[in-house]
Amino acid sequence: MAGTSVHSLLFVLSAFSAVCYGGSVIRERDAVPAGYAARPYYPSPHGGWTSDWSASYSKAKALVEQMTLAEKTNITAGTGIYMGNPCVGNTGSASRLGFPQLCLQDSALGVASTDNVTAFPAGITTGATWDKSLMYQRAVAIGQEFRGKGVNIYLGPTVGPLGRKPLGGRNWEGFGADPVLQAVAGALTVKGVQEQGVIATIKHLVGNEQEMYRMYNPVQEGYSSNIDDRTLHELYLWPFAEGVRAGVGSVMSAYNAVNGSACSQNSYLLNGLLKDELGFQGFVMSDWLSHMSGVASALAGLDMDMPGDTQIPIVLGTSYWMYELTRSVLNGSVPVDRLNDMATRIVAAWYQMGQDKNYPPPNFSSNTHDRTGLLYPAAVLSPIGVVNYYVNVQADHYKVARQVAQDAITLLKNDDDLLPLSTSHKLSIFGTDAQVNPDGPNACGNRACNKGTLGMGWGSGVADYPYMDGPIDAIKRRTSNVTYYATDSFPSVPTPAADEVAIVFISSDSGENSFTVENNHGDRDADKLAAWHNGDKLVQQAAAKYSNVVVIAHTVGPLILESWISLPAVKAVLFAHLPGQEAGESLTNVLFGDVSPSGHLPYSITKAATDLPASIANLRGFALGQVQDTYSEGLYIDYRYLNKHNITPRYAFGHGLSYTTFSLTNTSIRAVTPLTTPFPPARPTKGPTPSYSSAIPPASEAYPPPGFVPIWRYLYSYLSKPDADAAAAAANQSTTYPYPAGYSTVQTPGPPAGGASGGNPALWDTAYEITLTVTNTGARHAGKAVVQAYVQFPAGIGWDTPVIQLRDFGKTGTLAPGGGSERVKLGLTRKDVSVWDVAAQDWVVPDPGARYRVWIGEGSDRLGVVCYSDSLVCEEGVGGPV
Ligand SMILES: *[C@@H]1O[C@H](CO)[C@@H](O)[C@H](O)[C@H]1NC(C)=O
Ligand SMILES: *[C@@H]1O[C@H](CO)[C@@H](O)[C@H](O)[C@H]1NC(C)=O
Ligand SMILES: *[C@@H]1O[C@H](CO)[C@@H](O)[C@H](O)[C@H]1NC(C)=O
Ligand SMILES: *[C@@H]1O[C@H](CO)[C@@H](O)[C@H](O)[C@H]1NC(C)=O
Ligand SMILES: *[C@@H]1O[C@H](CO)[C@@H](O)[C@H](O)[C@H]1NC(C)=O
Ligand SMILES: *[C@@H]1O[C@H](CO)[C@@H](O)[C@H](O)[C@H]1NC(C)=O
Ligand SMILES: *[C@@H]1O[C@H](CO)[C@@H](O)[C@H](O)[C@H]1NC(C)=O
Ligand SMILES: CC(=O)N[C@H]1CO[C@H](CO)[C@@H](O)[C@@H]1O
């Protein structure tokens, strides 16, 4: 129980931790580099103008119209950290009208801080399956668990960080270092979760690519991710666009700044890109304690303040919103129109998911595992009540959890077909990562330690394990011919027989900056890309003794394998990623050949960290003032960079072997919607949005009810009568708020690239469809194949484009050995063959008549099939582009 409370307290304290890194003092922020600017974009576009949301907006309007000022401001902010209901965030209610407090709960991989739930495999593991159906099924199960616990708002999926920096601490919460892999998995997660009636939250918008210095605090600004317009569109915003198109109800802004302006109050990002261009109809919430202004953030497009507090929570019980937002509306600084839109967006999302009908209230507490507990833990005197009902929401979700964990396992190397093992092999097993943490899988709050099998990273992106099926337990269930050395220092062992197999478990962990684990401050700043606990040395020592070594890595991301990967004894390597609770049997099913491995890498594994440029290979270190993280590599991250510079990685993005082999044959391409013009057809115009009176409501709408007794430090939206009257009087004085440059209250028609949820709907016209036959050509093992499609833009179009870019993928079912086959269909949209034209501010197909190549294969370096957009011919058995 202490785990969660201690966590959150540490989390709060971490807001100030930057001080420890360098003892900075309050100062003006450093200049953002020349050329990067956070332009103003006002006003905040009204929600409700797309047809897919219009019915919910009508209902929302009918409800919001009846709300008083204090009710509207109540639902746009949390009631304070540890205040009121049981979740990590809890909004105020408009209970007079039947609008409840909303429960917001971590994490992206399962319901956090409670029991009787499933600890699903992490995002990176899910990405490594390359299986759309499993991505969706996992989301359905997650959605059912959040609903079962009475959570209104799921704080996932994570599609930012994108994985720009291999050392970045939270990359594992997302799906892989490519915008399309991230976008497909993110959008399917939104769909699966929201079909259960739970509002999903796509996060973190945007540029939170490292953990250190991410947060603003009273003495230092969070770092600024300086991202040019084209790179933002083609990489970092891409998954958000797909999430919006999938109908996501909520977006969480990132801690850091973009172009010098904090994401929670960056008008260009929230008003311009998200709400106008991407046509986002839900609401934007701040990341926890990243709210830092009242009027400014409201005008910039923030709709919900989480968890309600200022950056110094609890102590004072203060907020930038709640009663202050009430004041700002009464005194005329925040237009009533903006507050109406904020409230309508929140209520519309609630209707859109059907939460007005039979939605269960929360049944658990994030604050304690006891049945009863404090109802307001941060209050000094709090009533006590039943807070945990122990509702078991696990159903049979272990099955999909295990399937994801199993189908993610990525075979990097398998010399002499050492794998699969037979149960007659004598096995010697090394490494503490093979066994469940002897103190219990949840011994460390927020998994902020790396002890025992690594099933997830650390921080807020975790869940408690109901149990953990450890690898060594599963191996022992299979064979008794096994000796386990539960150590990370190579022990003295008997001389092995020639056919004896050593299995070495290694790990690499990372997480959120709120915790430091073995000197890693969230990011892998201490251990870098080496295995923890001297794992690389353990492998080398095992390889010196045994002639058959299998390495199994539980890891948040890429590792540098060079110190042992070419040793002749190291015959097989499996990346099992972060499997969650089902670490054991998912692995033994692969090890012993019940199934062939079918995972593929969701990132590249380079031979050296310096194979990537310094801007992404390194973390930004301490700076006086605001740390500037400039995306000088532009589009060239991960394989895009390596291909451009002809750097051969150890294992390429998308690489993954099987026990069997596949052929890709009978490939055909067909043009579906002809691309007759470089620019898409004109966008649809915005539909109508709810209209309300714009008159400032009477001050009496802010007064607390007669006899109102507040709970100390609970955040309310009421203003005392004197305060409310004074605010209303101020509205009639000549003093006006110092609005930012470019401020306007006139709604605009929106940019050409917009037009519907996600952007101009014509961007999703299918331009080309490719069909091929995948056949299992091996004689012995069944297996699933992953087929990846990459676009190569024509030469001479006047645009610098990466050599190849992933655009679609598919995974077969289990194909029988000796010819089992399946037809696979892949598609490319107009957007997939477009670049972002900064001058035109639109997507453009540079030369629709030229030859676009679509490369198809089982990895970014195994592309033996190519199809041409101009001749509509496909060739097989070709050498790939890289
Ligand atoms: C950041 O600055 C660049 C360069 O001026 C610009 O292209 C881009 O649109 C800006 N992005 C945001 C979110 O302000
Ligand atoms: C705001 O929400 C809280 C928590 O549900 C509730 O106690 C309070 O009465 C609400 N305020 C208004 C104005 O409805
Ligand atoms: C209105 O109230 C807000 C919140 O306290 C304050 O920031 C703003 O300056 C006030 N505006 C005027 C015109 O007094
Ligand atoms: C939670 O669920 C239990 C069992 O399903 C139910 O009895 C209880 O009333 C629910 N708790 C709340 C606060 O609604
Ligand atoms: C264990 O493995 C060794 C080497 O393969 C073999 O000789 C022995 O019979 C096995 N023992 C058992 C109990 O299977
Ligand atoms: C080959 O492709 C054609 C056209 O797409 C299709 O009709 C046919 O069934 C395919 N043949 C096989 C053996 O898959
Ligand atoms: C502010 O002015 C409006 C009309 O100009 C008036 O109706 C309202 O009563 C005034 N409010 C206060 C608090 O004086
Ligand atoms: C299956 C499971 O984990 N059940 C647990 C539900 O929560 C109660 C209270 O913590 C436990 O006692 C059960 O074991």
CB 363 less than 6 A from any atom of ligand 4: yes
Asked if the peptide bond before residue 161 counts as cis, ω within 30 degrees of 0, the response is: yes
Whether the pLDDT of residue 377 is over 90: the answer is no
Sheet strands side by side (includes 482-485):
410-414, 570-575, 549-555, 501-508, 427-430, 482-485
Residue 454 sits in the same domain as residue 377: no
Ligand 6 atom index nearest CA of 821: 14
CA of 780 to the centre of ligand 4 (A): 53
**Least reliable range by pLDDT among 371-380, 671-680, 779-788, 814-823:** 371-380
* Side-chain half-sphere exposure of 417, counting CA atoms within 13 A: 10
* Amino acid sitting at position 155: L
For residue 58, the Cα-to-chain-centroid distance in whole angstroms is 31
Residue 368 sits in the same domain as residue 404: no
pLDDT value, residue 30: 56
Start-to-end Cα distance in the chain: 53
Residue 347 sits in the same domain as residue 438: no
CA distance readout (Å), 747 to 49, 271, 295, 684 = 12, 11, 18, 16
As a whole-number percent, the residues of the chain with pLDDT over 70 amount to 97
What number is the average pLDDT over the span 319-345? 98
| Residue of 418, 424, 495, 500 to test ligand 5 pocket, by largest number of atoms within 8 Å of CB | 424
Whether the pLDDT of residue 364 is over 50: the answer is yes
Whether the pLDDT of residue 217 is over 90: the answer is no
| Residue of 73, 325, 328 to test ligand 3 pocket, by largest number of atoms within 8 Å of CB | 328
In a domain, 215, yes or no: yes
Of the listed ligands, the closest to the CA of 732 is 7
CB 114 less than 6 A from any atom of ligand 8: no
Confidence tier at 312 by pLDDT (50, 70, 90): confident
CB 666 less than 6 A from any atom of ligand 6: yes
pLDDT, the chain, mean: 95
Residue 638 sits in the same domain as residue 670: no
Residue 447 sits in the same domain as residue 402: yes
CATH of the domain at 544: 3.40.50.1700
Residue 105 sits in the same domain as residue 225: yes
141: closest CA among 87, 192, 199, 104? 192
Residue 439 sits in the same domain as residue 468: yes
* Side-chain half-sphere exposure of 226, counting CA atoms within 13 A: 18
Of the listed ligands, the closest to the CA of 371 is 8
Give the list of residues 6+ apart from residue 218 with CB closer than 8 angstroms, or none.
Answer: 16, 26, 311, 312
Q: For 483-507, what is each residue's pLDDT tens digit?
A: 999 999 999 999 999 999 999 999 9
Residue 322 sits in the same domain as residue 212: yes
Ligand 7 atom index nearest CA of 725: 13
| Catalytic positions | 287
Of 365, 390, 415, which residue constitutes the final position of a domain? 390
Strand 153-154 to strand 199-205: parallel, antiparallel, or no bridges (unpaired)? parallel
Of the listed ligands, the closest to the CA of 481 is 5
User: In terms of residue numbers, what domain contains 116?
Assistant: 53-390
Residue 364 near residue 150 (C-beta atoms within 8 A): yes
Q: For 272-311, what is each residue's pLDDT tens digit?
A: 999 999 999 999 999 999 999 999 999 999 999 999 999 8
CA of 836 to the centre of ligand 1 (A): 13
CA of 848 to the centre of ligand 6 (A): 27
Vertex 290, ends 286 and 291: CA angle to 5°? 75
CA of 716 to the centre of ligand 2 (A): 7
- How far is it, in rounded angstroms, from Cα 373 to Cα 622? 42
Strand 821-829 to strand 766-776: parallel, antiparallel, or no bridges (unpaired)? antiparallel
* Side-chain half-sphere exposure of 646, counting CA atoms within 13 A: 0
CB 334 less than 6 A from any atom of ligand 3: no
pLDDT value, residue 689: 98
CA of 132 to the centre of ligand 3 (A): 49
**Closest C-alpha to ligand 6, atom 5:** 668
In a domain, 14, yes or no: no
What number is the average pLDDT over the span 637-656? 98
Q: For 99-116, what is each residue's pLDDT tens digit?
A: 999 999 999 999 999 999
Of the listed ligands, the closest to the CA of 362 is 4
Of 390, 409, 428, which residue constitutes the final position of a domain? 390
Residue with tokens 């690519």: 209
Confidence tier at 736 by pLDDT (50, 70, 90): confident
Whether the pLDDT of residue 20 is over 70: the answer is no
In a domain, 747, yes or no: no
Q: For 836-851, what is each residue's pLDDT tens digit?
A: 999 999 999 999 999 9
805: closest CA among 641, 633, 610? 641
In a domain, 81, yes or no: yes
Of 369, 390, 411, which residue constitutes the final position of a domain? 390
pLDDT value, residue 786: 98
CA distance readout (Å), 658 to 66, 175, 600, 787 = 61, 21, 10, 13
CATH of the domain at 177: 3.20.20.300
Residue 320 sits in the same domain as residue 408: no
**Closest C-alpha to ligand 2, atom 3:** 92
In a domain, 533, yes or no: yes
Q: Looking at residue 592, what DSSP letter applies?
A: T
Whether the pLDDT of residue 315 is over 80: the answer is no
CA of 116 to the centre of ligand 8 (A): 6
Whether the pLDDT of residue 371 is over 80: the answer is yes
In a domain, 775, yes or no: yes
Residue 355 sits in the same domain as residue 439: no
pLDDT value, residue 220: 84
In a domain, 783, yes or no: yes
Q: For 600-616, what is each residue's pLDDT tens digit?
A: 999 999 999 999 999 99
CB 771 less than 6 A from any atom of ligand 6: yes
Residue 258 near residue 37 (C-beta atoms within 8 A): no
Of the listed ligands, the closest to the CA of 422 is 5
Whether the pLDDT of residue 9 is over 80: the answer is no
Q: For 30-72, what is each residue's pLDDT tens digit?
A: 578 988 999 999 999 999 999 999 999 999 999 999 999 999 9
CATH of the domain at 784: 2.60.40.10
In a domain, 37, yes or no: no
**Closest C-alpha to ligand 6, atom 2:** 666
Q: Which two tokens stand for residue 633?
A: 């590599």
pTM above 0.75, yes or no: yes
Residue count (the chain): 882
239: closest CA among 290, 286, 175, 330? 175
CA of 390 to the centre of ligand 8 (A): 7
Tell me the β-bridge partners of 385.
373
Residue 298 sits in the same domain as residue 213: yes
Residue 314 sits in the same domain as residue 432: no
| Residue of 103, 388, 389, 393 to test ligand 4 pocket, by largest number of atoms within 8 Å of CB | 389
The number of folded domains in the chain is: 3
**Closest C-alpha to ligand 1, atom 4:** 36
CA of 578 to the centre of ligand 5 (A): 32
The dihedral built from the CA positions of residue 868, 871, 877 and 881, taken in this order, carries a sign that is negative
